[in-house]
């Protein structure tokens, strides 16, 4: 087995300590577009705690993706310019509190070496726990490093993605993004200049800064939240999405959704460019 494969596969970082408050919870909700209508009480519940009529602040389930921003199994020494998000799969063990001190345990699950000049996919998981040691959420991320690979890792095949139903979507919705949305979302933790620096974006092969893949991921959670979940954040058990193309801030994301029992399948596209940006999406409600 190659030394590089063993190095990556052995990465582990346990007991990482983090804390967040309602400020971070509201910023994340606003960062994925909730609260655009200042009179929409259902969306305001995620970005405003209420004053004259107090109400408990709600937490968007996928806030779990930034609650312990920076947590990871360790330094992977990848070509940062060529790294993109491949997939996210979050399992929710219980609703996230509005504020908390948490710990994060991270480890590499598997390394898929696609060969020289084809890149490598690294799957790693982070388990978030509360102060009692109870699991809050398990995050599995697949990172596609386009500038790496070909180091002699084992020939492994990635698991098959969730299959989207072949019938016509049961529901289709449009979600607009703001031209400055990436500049807001980056305040949740991801300062990758690919999303804010035009010069850096061009160096990476894009005509202008792109929206964070994880912002698009949050937008798809929002899509399920406002439709089949009826804004009940506690209903989410799992949210999975595979990234296939970037969204540019200001574009409209069109989500197609299919409901089969407690499973919601979804895909998302940008019609103006004729591209699919999210594939093989799945939300499990319960």
What amino acid positions are annotated as catalytic residues?
Answer: 190, 195
CB 14 within 8 A of CB 122: no
Q: Is 97 exposed, middle or buried (0-12, 13-18, 19+ CB in 10 A)?
A: middle
**Cα-atom radius of gyration of the chain, to the nearest Å?**
19
Measure the CA–CA gap between 21 and 280, rounded to whole angstroms. Answer: 32
Q: Which of 113, 115, 223 is nearest to 169 (CA)?
A: 223
Measure the CA–CA gap between 72 and 78, rounded to whole angstroms. Answer: 14
CB 153 within 8 A of CB 112: yes
Q: If you count them, how many residues does the chain have?
A: 286
**DSSP secondary structure string for all residues of 175-235:** EE--TTHHHHHGGGS---GGGT-HHHHHHTT-SS----HHHHHHHHHHHHHHTTTTT-GGG
DSSP letter at 278? E
Instruction: Using DSSP, state whether 141 is helix, strand or coil.
Output: strand
Q: Which residues pair with 283 in a beta bridge?
A: 239, 264
Measure the CA–CA gap between 73 and 36, rounded to whole angstroms. Answer: 36
Q: Which two tokens stand for residue 64?
A: 């779990």
Instruction: Using DSSP, state whether 175 is helix, strand or coil.
Output: strand
């Amino acid at each position: 087995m190659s030394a590089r494969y063993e190095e990556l596969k052995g990465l582990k970082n346990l007991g990482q300590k983090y804390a967040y408050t309602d400020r971070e919870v509201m910023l994340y909700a606003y960062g994925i577009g909730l609260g655009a209508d200042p009179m929409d009480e259902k969306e305001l519940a995620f970005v405003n705690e209420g004053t004259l009529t107090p109400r408990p602040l709600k937490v968007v389930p996928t806030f779990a993706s930034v609650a312990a921003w920076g947590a990871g199994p360790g330094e992977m020494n990848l070509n940062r310019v060529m790294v993109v998000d491949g997939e996210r799969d979050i399992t929710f063990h219980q609703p996230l509190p509005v504020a908390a001190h948490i710990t994060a345990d991270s480890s590499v699950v598997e390394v898929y070496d696609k060969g020289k000049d084809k890149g490598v996919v690294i799957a790693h998981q982070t388990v978030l726990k509360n102060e009692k040691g109870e699991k809050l959420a398990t995050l599995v991320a697949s990172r596609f490093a386009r500038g790496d690979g070909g180091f002699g890792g084992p020939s492994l095949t990635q698991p098959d993605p969730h299959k989207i139903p072949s019938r016509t979507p049961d529901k289709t919705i449009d979600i607009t993004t703001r031209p400055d949305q990436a500049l807001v979302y980056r305040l949740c933790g991801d300062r990758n200049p690919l999303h804010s620096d035009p010069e850096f974006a061009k160096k990476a092969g894009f005509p202008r800064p792109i929206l964070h893949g994880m912002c698009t991921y949050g937008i798809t959670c929002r899509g399920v939240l406002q439709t089949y979940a009826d804004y009940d954040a506690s209903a989410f058990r799992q949210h999975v999405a595979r990234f296939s193309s970037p969204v540019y801030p200001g574009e409209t994301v069109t989500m197609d959704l299919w409901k089969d029992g407690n499973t919601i399948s979804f895909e998302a596209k940008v019609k103006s460019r004729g591209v699919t940006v999210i594939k093989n999406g799945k939300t499990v409600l319960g």
